[in-house]
Amino acid sequence: MPNITLSVPLDLYRRMKKHPEIKWSEVARRAIAEYLAKIEAEELSSDEVLSLLGDEFREELKETPVEKYEEALKETRGAEWKRLSTTRTS
């Protein structure tokens, strides 16, 4: 696996050192993967996304009432707001 060098502020480094049980390289790897997935998802058109998800998903999408998607979106937004409002920042 290739290596990269990552610079972090001294304060952040000191805080990380207080938690030696955490594999920080894995945390960084996951964060990078999630960010790339987000960027790549924004580059795809809705038709491209649907083709990647397959015919079975497309049929399920057609059969599901819009209200169910609206409720799921509302719940997701609420959960994301809760996550962001409780996340500590430096």
**pLDDT tens, residue by residue, 16-75:** 999 999 999 999 999 999 888 888 877 877 787 788 788 888 888 888 888 988 998 899
State phi, psi for 4 to the nearest 5 degrees.
Answer: -130, 160
pLDDT of residue 16: 95
Same domain, 58 and 90: yes
pTM of the model: 0.47
- In the DSSP assignment, the letter for residue 22 is S
Same domain, 39 and 61: no
Q: Is residue 85 part of a domain?
A: yes
Q: Which structural domain range is residue 68 located in?
A: 54-90
Largest Cα span, the chain: 53
pLDDT of residue 88: 67
Q: Is residue 36 part of a domain?
A: yes
Residue 86 has pLDDT above 60, yes or no: yes
Q: Is residue 49 part of a domain?
A: no
Q: Which residues 6+ apart lie within 8 Å of 11 measured at CB?
A: 90
Let me know the angle formed at the C-alpha of 63 by 58 and 64, rounded to the nearest 5 degrees: 100
Q: Is residue 48 part of a domain?
A: no
Residue located via tokens 């049929």: 59
Q: Which of 30, 34, 28 is nearest to 7 (CA)?
A: 28
Same domain, 58 and 37: no
Same domain, 38 and 59: no
